[in-house]
Amino acid sequence: MKRLLPFLLPGLLLAQGPVREFTGVITDTMCGADHTHMGIRPDERCVRECVKSGKWKYALIDAKGKMMVLSDQQTPEKFAAKRVRIRGVYYEKTGILRVDSITSAD
């Protein structure tokens, strides 16, 4: 197995895709870009309440309206409804963005 590892490791790294930077707003999978129908203000409170319910997850919504579910479900709480930059890998098949880091974009 040790002899195979040098050959398998590059293939595994390429299969997951490149680490990239994504910019957008932290939201929840229930509301997406529009929180008005929930009647909870401000938006950051709505995002936190939806996720706290246990039914929905933190997600990033980019400028084109694409929603990506975040692998990290703790760190995004402090960035709820804020514009952020996330470094990570997006898995197209599952729609999950593996979060390596989150920073404010403002």
> Which domain does 21 fall in, by range?
17-104
Interval 45-103: pLDDT, tens: 999 999 999 999 999 999 999 999 999 999 999 999 999 999 999 999 999 999 999 99
Q: Is residue 79 part of a domain?
A: yes
The span from the CA of 26 to the CA of 92, in Å, is 19
Look at the chain and report how many structural domains it folds into.
1
Asked if residue 5 belongs to a domain, the reply is no
- Exposed, middle or buried by CB within 10 Å (0-12, 13-18, 19+), for 55? exposed
pLDDT above 90: residue 38: no
Residue 4 lies in a domain: no
Would 22 be classed as within a structural domain?
A: yes
